[in-house]
Amino acid sequence: MSFRSLLAAGVAAVALVGAAPAGAQDTTPATGSGSFEIEFDTFKKKNRHAAGILRRSGAMQALVEEVNSRWAIPRDIPIVFGDELEVGPAFIPEVKLPDGAELTFINVPGNFLRLQLQQFRRAIKRERIRSLKPADAFVYSTEFVLAHEIGHALVHELKLPVTGKEEDAVDGFAAFLLADNERFGPMTAISAAMFFDLYSRLRGKLTDEDFADEHSILEQRVYNFLCWVYGSDPKRFKGLVGKDLLPRERAVRCSNEWKQLTTSWETLLKPYQKMPGTPAESAAPAA
C-alpha cells in the first residue's frame, strides 16, 4: 500500500465530484430518551494542541447530533475526550463506581489524538502533498474512529445481533454512517485507511498477539475501508483501484459488499429509527 497513491486517489475522487448525497431516512417512530453526549475533559500539555484542533472543528458534536437525530437509545452515553483514563479509543460498558452505580461510556484519550496528528503531519510532509492538510485528515479519521465506537455502543445498548467479529461489524457501521453521508463523506473512511496504513508501519513484525486479536489485522481493515468506499460508487471512486491501492480482484466484489453492509445496518437499526427532523449544520474540519 502506497500512502501517496492512497492520498492522491482519495482526494482526487472527492475533489472531482463533491459531496455525496445522504441516503433517505426511514420514518418509523421509535422510543428511547437517551443520547450520546460529547465531553472534553482535561489534557496533558503534549496532547492539548491535537485536542484543540478537534474541539474547534465541531466535527465530533456534528457526528453525535447525526446519530442522536436518527436512532433512539435507552440511556445517555457520555463520550469523553481527555487524559484522565489513558485507554482507548474504546467503548467501556458498565464500569462499577465506588458508590455502587454503573457507568457506560466511550473514552478517547489524548495520546491517540496526538499520535494521529503526528503521523499525518510526517507523512504529508514527507510526500510533499498539498491537497490535504494534516489537521483535516486528523479530524476526518477521528470521525471514523468515533463512529466505530458508537457502533459498539449501539450493539450493546440495543442488543443488536452480530454474526462474526463485532470489530469488523462496527467498522462497517462507521462506513455506513459516514461514507456516503453529505455531512461527512468518503474522506472519513479514506483518512482512517491512511492512518491505519501508517500505524501498521509502526507496529513492526506481526506476532501471535496480532493474529489472535479481536480486531482484524490493520492492513485488512485498510482494504475493507477502501472496498466499501469504492463499492458505494465505483464510477466515482475508480481511482482507488489499481497498483498500491485496492486490488482489482477484490474491487469486483465491493459493490455487493457495500449493498450487503448498508442493507444489514438499515435492517438492524430500523426498529430504533426516529422520525426525520431538520438536520443540524455540518461542521467542517479545522484548517
Please indicate, yes or no, whether the overall pTM of this predicted structure exceeds 0.95: no
pLDDT of 248 over the 80 cut: yes
Residue 185 located in a structural domain: yes
Number of domains in the chain: 1
Residue 130 belongs to domain spanning: 3-19+28-203+212-270
What is the pairing mode between strands 90-96 and 102-109?
antiparallel
Q: Is residue 193 part of a domain?
A: yes
Q: Which amino acid is at 8?
A: A
Contact yes or no for 152/91 (Cβ under 8 A):
yes
Cell of 276: 426525520
On whether the CB atoms of residues 276 and 32 are closer than 8 A, the answer is: no
Q: Is residue 133 part of a domain?
A: yes
State the DSSP H helix or E strand holding residue 79, giving kind and residue range, or none if neither: strand 77-82
Q: What mean pLDDT is predicted for residues 205-213?
A: 62
Residue 74, domain member (yes or no): yes
Q: Which three cell numbers stand for residue 64?
A: 453525535
DSSP one-letter code for 230: H
Q: What is the pLDDT of residues 250-274, one digit of tens each?
A: 999 999 999 999 999 999 999 999 9
pLDDT on residue 38: 97
Residue 279: inside a domain = no
285, part of any domain: no
Percent of the chain at pLDDT exceeding 70: 80
Q: What pLDDT does residue 216 have?
A: 58
- Residue 38 located in a structural domain: yes
Side-chain half-sphere exposure of 274, counting CA atoms within 13 A: 19
Query: Is residue 284 included in any domain, yes or no?
Result: no
Give the closest residue to 10 by CA, choosing from 124, 121, 154, 125.
124
